[in-house]
Structure 1
C-alpha cells in the first residue's frame, strides 16, 4: 500500500484504511478484535513521541494562544454539537450521545502528523494543527470519562468541580511526569555515547513516560507528548551525528510499521462493527455523514476567529486558513481506542444501550476523515494558496546552505597562518567551501588517512551547526529546512569516519 500510495501520490493512511475495509469484506476472513489497551500501550506511545519531537517549539511559542483555545474551547464545542446532533438524528440515549461527542471531539495526532507530513504548509499553520492534536487529549479524555460515568450510572449527574479536578490531575499530572521523565532521560543521555544504548533509550522513553503516568492515574498521552517536545528541542545537544542518523533510521522504520498497522486496524474493524448493529440501524451511513458534517462546521466556526494569529500576512479573518486547518483536523486511532473501551454493561448489570451504534459511528467518522479529507487535503491546501512553492523551499535551503558555508569559510580564514593546522589542509577545505558557494561542486573527496583534514572538517561542521541553529533561532529559516540541513551535516560528519 505504501508503494502504491507513493506511485499514485495519495496519503498512505487513506489507502491503508480502504485496504483494511476491502480485506475485512473478503468472505472467510476472521473478525478482528483488538483490545483498546493494546493500542494504547503498544502502538500510541512511540507514534505520539515521534509527532511531538517533530513539533517546532519556536513556532509553538507564537501560536500557543490559539492552540490553547482549540485544545479547550473547540473540544467542548465539538462534543456538545455532536451530542445534540446524535440525540436528534440517531435516537441514542442522551448519555451515550454525549459519549460519542466526547470521543470525536478531539483531532488525532497520529493521523494529523501522518497526513501533514506530505504538505508544504507555512510553519505556523502546520504547528497549530499538529500542536492542537497533541494537546487536546486531556480535555477530551476528561469529557469521555465524565460522559461514561453518567452513562453507566444510568443518568446520574456529574459534578463540575469534580470534572475540573480530574482534568487538572490528568493534564497537569501528565505534564509533570512527562517533564520529569524528559529530565531523567536527558541526564542519562548526556553520559551515554554508545549508538545502541542511545537507540534503546530513545525507544524506551515514550513507553516509560506512558506507563509511569498511567500508573499514577494521570494522562499517559500528555506525558509522552511533553517528554517528546522537551527532548526533541535538545536532541542536537545530546547526541552526535552518528547517533542522530541511527535514531532517525530506526524511528523511521518503527513509525512506518506502527502507522501501517494502526490505520489498517481502523479499516479492518468497520465491517465487523456494522455487522453487530441491530436490524433497525440501517441509517448509520447517513448518520455518520451528518456527524462528520457537524464536526467540520463547528471546527470552521471556531477556527475562523483565530486565523489572525497564524496568517502569513497581517489583515482580517482568512477563510483559506480556516479551511485548511479544518480539513487537516482528522480523527484516527485514539477515538477508536476510546470507543472500544466503552463498558459492555451499566452499573445495574444491564447491557449499555447504544454501544454498538456508537462504535460503528465512531469508526465510520474516522474512515470518512481519513479517506475523504485525507485524499483531498493536498488539493485543498494547493487551492488555498498557503502551500509553500517548491522554489521557495529550495531557495530558502540554498540561502541557508550559503550562510553555513560562508561561516565555515570565515572560520578557516581565521586559522590561516596558525602553525597548529597545516596550510595544505586549510587550503583544501577552503577550495571545497569556495566551490560549494560557487555551486561548482562539492570539493575534493575525503580520504580516511588524512587525520588533520578530518579534525579540521569536524571543527568546520561544528561551526556550521552553530550557524544553522542561529539562523533558526532568528526565524530566518523554517523548521523543515533546519532539519534537512542538520541531516546533511550529520551525513557529512559521519562520512569522515571515527567518533
Structure 2
C-alpha cells in the first residue's frame, strides 16, 4: 500500500509538471492515467464512498470555501442558486424521467438516483483552467459558488430517491420537507461551527494551533451535520465561507501564511489522488454490464450524457432571458448610496458589471464548465445492493456505468477543451482594473497608517523618532503606489502596462536578496553561522521576497 501511495504521488507530481508546461489540465490527464493503470494486470484500488464523503470531500470543500468570497457569492446569489439548486434538481428529475420512458425496465426512482449523482458539477478542473487563462472574477465566483452548494442539493436528492427505490414509496411533501430541513439545518450547523472557531481565537495566534484547528474544522462540521441528520456538506461550506470571511480578524499573519500553505498542499494531494481514483473504477463499473443488451446500455448512456450536456446551456439561456428586473443583484453598492469620494464611480461601474445579466460569451463558457468528478462516483457507489424486500437494487450496475461515462466525458472532454474555448471567446479578466483596485486599496491602507501615526505622536512624545522613520517609509511606499495608479490610469488597455524603471527596480531587489542568501550559505558552510540561525535569517529574506509583486504593475 505504501508503495502504491508513493507511486501515486510521483504520478501526480509528474502530471502537474507536464500540465504546467503544456497547458493541459491535470484533472483531465490523471483519470486517463488511472484508466491505463486499471487495465494493467495487478492490484487495483476500489472507491469507498464512505471514505470519499467523510475524509476527502470535507477538506476539499472547506478549502474551496476559505478561498471563496462570501460577498461576491452574495452579489451573484441569484445565478449561483439557480445553478446549484434549481438546475441540479431539474437535471435529476429529467434524467429520471428519461430512464423511466426510454430505458427498458428502469424505474423513476432509480433514474432520479443516477440523475442526482451526475447533476452536480465538480468545479476543480474548470477553475484550474479558468485561473490559468485569467477568467473574469465574476465567472470564477459563479463556478466556485455553484460547486460549493450543489453537492448538498444532489446528495439530499439522492437520499430521497434511494429511499423511494428501496422502500417503493415516495411522498412529494415529505421529500420537500426533508430537503428544506437538511438545507436549513446544514446552514445552522455551519454557522455554529464557525462561531466555535471564533471562540478559539486565543489559540490561533500560534501557527501550529491555528493549522490544527483549521484542519479539524471541516470534519467537525461534517460529522456534526450528519449526526443531526442535516446536510453535513452544506455545514462544511457555510463554516468555510464564514471563517474565510472572518480570517483577517481571527488569525495572525504568521498563522495565515502557514495555514494557506498547508491547505494548498492538502488540495494538491487530495485532488490528485481523487482524479487517479476515478480512472481506476473502470473494471468495477463494467463488470456487471453483461446482463444488459447493447441497445439498453447505449440508450441509458445517451439519456445521461445528453441531459447533462444539453440541459445546462438551455437553462442558462432561459434564465438569462428573464426580465431585467429579476437580474438585480442582491446587496452591493448603488449610485445613490455611493460616497462622493475618489474611485467611487469606478466601484459603481464594477458593481454594475456584477449586476448585469451574462453575455452570450459568458453563457457559452459557463455551459462548458460543468465538469463532473469524484462526488458523482462516490454518490452512485452509495446505492445499496438490495431493496427492503431483498431484491437487487434496480439496474445498479447500469447506473454505475452511466455515471462513470458522464464523469469521463465531462472531465476529459470538457476539461481538455475548456481553455481553448475560453481563449476563442476572448474572455479575460481586466488586469488593469484588478491592479487599479489593489493599488487603490494599498494607498488607502497606507493613508490609514499615516493617520494612526499622527495619533501615536500626539499621545506618545517619546516615540517621535520612530514615528518619523516609519512615516518616511510609508510616504515612500505611498508615492510608489500612486505612481503605479498614474501609470494604470494612462493605460487604455485591459492588459497590464509595463514600467521599465519599476521592472528594473524589482530585478535589482531580487538580485540583492539572492546575494544575501548566497553569503549566508557561505557563512554556514565555513562554520561561522549555525544552521538554526541560517534558517531564521532565510525566513526574513523569504518574507521580504514574498512582498515583491510577481508583475511590475500589479
TM-score using structure 2 length: 0.73
Greater displacement, 38-47 / 109-118: 109-118
Q: Give the whole-Å Cα distance in 1 for the aligned partners of 2:236 and 2:544.
A: 29
5+ long unaligned stretches in structure 2: 1-14, 330-351, 484-500, 514-541, 549-554
Say yes or no: does 1:122 pair with 2:136: yes
Say yes or no: does 1:329 pair with 2:370: yes
Q: Give the whole-Å Cα distance in 2 for the aligned partners of 1:289 and 1:257.
A: 33
For the 8 Å contact 1:182–1:230, the answer to whether it is kept is yes
CA deviation digits over 1:238-282, x for unaligned, max 9? 112111110011111111111111111111112331233215454
Q: CA deviation at 1:160?
A: 1.3
Say yes or no: does 1:304 pair with 2:345: no
Q: CA deviation at 1:236?
A: 0.9
Paired position in structure 1 for 2:395: 354
For the 8 Å contact 2:443–2:478, the answer to whether it is kept is no
Paired position in structure 1 for 2:273: 261
Other structure's SS at 2:200 match: helix
CA deviation digits over 1:39-83, x for unaligned, max 9? 111101110001111221121222212222333321222112222
Greater displacement, 97-106 / 331-340: 97-106
Structure 1 residues 352, 106: closer, same or farther in 2, change over 3 A?
same
Paired position in structure 1 for 2:494: none
Q: Give the whole-Å Cα distance in 1 for the aligned partners of 2:263 and 2:354.
A: 36
For the 8 Å contact 1:48–1:224, the answer to whether it is kept is yes
For the 8 Å contact 1:412–1:430, the answer to whether it is kept is no
CA deviation digits over 1:316-340, x for unaligned, max 9? 7733222212211221111111100
Q: Give the whole-Å Cα distance in 2 for the aligned partners of 1:86 and 1:370.
A: 23
Other structure's SS at 1:331 match: coil
5+ long unaligned stretches in structure 1: 448-486, 494-499
Q: Give the whole-Å Cα distance in 2 for the aligned partners of 1:229 and 1:169.
A: 20
For the 8 Å contact 2:28–2:416, the answer to whether it is kept is yes
Q: Give the whole-Å Cα distance in 2 for the aligned partners of 1:31 and 1:223.
A: 33
CA deviation digits over 1:387-407, x for unaligned, max 9? 215555455545655555566
Q: Give the whole-Å Cα distance in 1 for the aligned partners of 2:63 and 2:110.
A: 33
Say yes or no: does 1:21 pair with 2:35: yes
Say yes or no: does 1:12 pair with 2:32: no
Other structure's SS at 1:278 match: helix
Paired position in structure 2 for 1:379: 420
Paired position in structure 1 for 2:257: 245
CA deviation digits over 1:72-122, x for unaligned, max 9? 321222112222333455435123222211211222355555554435233
Q: Give the whole-Å Cα distance in 2 for the aligned partners of 1:22 and 1:390.
A: 40
TM-score using structure 1 length: 0.81
Paired position in structure 2 for 1:50: 63
Other structure's SS at 1:58 match: helix
Q: CA deviation at 1:285?
A: 6.5
Paired position in structure 2 for 1:496: none
Say yes or no: does 1:364 pair with 2:405: yes
Structure 1 residues 235, 300: closer, same or farther in 2, change over 3 A?
same
Other structure's SS at 1:388 match: coil
For the 8 Å contact 2:73–2:145, the answer to whether it is kept is yes
1:36 corresponds, among 41, 45, 49, to 49
Structure 1 residues 134, 92: closer, same or farther in 2, change over 3 A?
farther
Other structure's SS at 2:281 match: helix
Q: Give the whole-Å Cα distance in 1 for the aligned partners of 2:136 and 2:543.
A: 22
Paired position in structure 2 for 1:427: 472
**Radius of gyration: which is bigger?**
2
Q: Give the whole-Å Cα distance in 2 for the aligned partners of 1:246 and 1:108.
A: 27
Say yes or no: does 1:75 pair with 2:116: no
Structure 1 residues 403, 362: closer, same or farther in 2, change over 3 A?
same
1:98 corresponds, among 90, 109, 112, to 112
Q: Give the whole-Å Cα distance in 2 for the aligned partners of 1:119 and 1:219.
A: 34
CA RMSD of aligned residues (A): 3.3
Q: Give the whole-Å Cα distance in 1 for the aligned partners of 2:447 and 2:113.
A: 59
Other structure's SS at 1:29 match: coil
Q: Give the whole-Å Cα distance in 1 for the aligned partners of 2:545 and 2:69.
A: 20
2:79 corresponds, among 61, 66, 87, to 66
Say yes or no: does 1:185 pair with 2:197: yes
Q: Give the whole-Å Cα distance in 1 for the aligned partners of 2:463 and 2:63.
A: 43
Structure 1 residues 392, 245: closer, same or farther in 2, change over 3 A?
same
Q: Give the whole-Å Cα distance in 1 for the aligned partners of 2:439 and 2:407.
A: 40
Q: Give the whole-Å Cα distance in 2 for the aligned partners of 1:214 and 1:316.
A: 37
Other structure's SS at 1:136 match: helix
Q: Give the whole-Å Cα distance in 1 for the aligned partners of 2:285 and 2:127.
A: 26
Say yes or no: does 1:274 pair with 2:286: yes
Q: Give the whole-Å Cα distance in 1 for the aligned partners of 2:81 and 2:218.
A: 23
Structure 1 residues 119, 226: closer, same or farther in 2, change over 3 A?
farther
Q: Give the whole-Å Cα distance in 1 for the aligned partners of 2:96 and 2:274.
A: 27
Q: Give the whole-Å Cα distance in 1 for the aligned partners of 2:150 and 2:477.
A: 49
Paired position in structure 2 for 1:457: none
Q: Give the whole-Å Cα distance in 1 for the aligned partners of 2:187 and 2:88.
A: 19
Q: How many residues align?
A: 451
